[in-house]
Amino acid sequence: MGKSPRHLLGLQGLGDRAMADIVARAETIQARGARPVCAGQQAVLAFFEPSTRTSTSFALAFQRLGGQVVMLNVAQSSAQKGETLHDSLSTLLAMQPHFLVLRHGQNGGLQPLAAATETSVVNAGDGAGEHPTQALLDALTVKQIKGRLNDLTVAIVGDIRHSRVARSNAHLWRQMGSRVVMVAPPELLPDVDDYPFAFFSTDMAQGLKKADVIITLRLQKERLEKQLTISADDYHIRYGMDHEKLSYAAPDAVVLHPGPMNRGVEISSTLADDATRCAVLRQVTNGVATRMAVFEWLTHAA
């Protein structure tokens, strides 16, 4: 194991070259297949919040690179006996795996942990903080569809205030030289100071104008501090993505969704199933190659 491991904790501050490098690696893996750069290595996957796509995709990615995965069963873990997250993580790191892939409900806080270990720590979603691999796989998907990452208008729609996907995407697109627009009801827009570079709107027709990419977000019910004033039905009518609202955007705009989708709330079922306009399953496919690329990048493999 190297003395100073790389970590992937977030995209804010990572730099456009590293992000472009990971996306390029994912493209190469898809075109030429994977090399066994993680043979003989072990990754512990610890998901303290629910996950379908991200956990499975990290596990498949690591195994396709030749590594072995240990998936912590949180429901059967000492978290249920009152162990703090910090103590659980220190315990897992004391076993010295090569990688620790971690999802939990607290925002941030991984930096000190990562600084003190020889294990590569990968953030698979921290509260309303960041979800770096989601934004990277979104970038790969957009690159395939639009042919570029710069000079695009990317609209992020929905519960931006509580979304780690929104934060990682906003920082990625800004650094790639694209425009970021945030569209949501006032109570779900983030603080302006968090995203001084973004354009904010509460109106879909205005916010989606000329958008090339629309990232639709789920209402993060588990993170709402108080009951929303807008009902789910009203939310769908005003902010739910459907073919009609898609017509406000550029004619060839593509809709992304990180999943899980709540059909009939933030996206209509018809749009969700329209693979010519909505790339949700393509994103899932790209997630495996992107996470392979991340592991490759973390191992400093040339």
Binding site for ligand ASP (CB under 6 A): 125, 131, 164-165, 218, 258-259
Residue 24 or 224 having the CB closest to ligand ASP: 224
Q: How far is the CB of 214 from ligand ASP (least distance, A)?
A: 15
Of all residues in the shown chain, the one whose CB is closest to ligand ASP is: 218
We find the least distance from the C-beta atom of residue 127 to ligand ASP, in angstroms, to be: 9
Give residue 203's identity as a one-letter amino acid code.
D
- Measuring CA to CA, which residue among 222, 298, 289 is closest to residue 50? 222
Nearer to ligand ASP, 25 or 162 (CB): 162
Whichever of 48 and 248 has its CB closer to ligand ASP, that residue is: 48
Minimum gap (Å) between residue 301 Cβ and ligand ASP: 27
Strand order in the sheet with 99-104: 68-72, 42-47, 99-104, 120-126
- CA 271 vs CA 1, 22, 38, 233, 265: distances in Å: 47, 30, 39, 17, 12
Work out how close the CB of 69 gets to ligand ASP at its nearest, in angstroms, rounded to a whole number.
19
Nearer to ligand ASP among residue 165 and residue 280 (C-beta): 165
**Of 98 and 104, which has the nearer Cβ to ligand ASP?**
104
Which lies closer to ligand ASP via its Cβ, residue 34 or residue 154? 154
Sheet holding 213-216, edge to edge: 199-201, 179-183, 153-157, 213-216, 254-256
168 CB neighbour count, 10 Å cutoff: 27
Residue 54, CB half-sphere, CA atoms under 13 Å: how many?
A: 27
Provide, rounded to whole angstroms, the least separation between the CB of residue 284 and ligand ASP.
11
User: Token pair of 50, please?
Assistant: 């629910």
Task: Quote the least distance from Cβ 96 to ligand ASP, whole Å.
Answer: 27
What are the start-end ranges of the E strands in the chain?
42-47, 68-72, 99-104, 120-126, 153-157, 179-183, 199-201, 213-216, 254-256
The residues pairing with 44 across neighbouring beta strands, listed in sequence order, are 70, 100
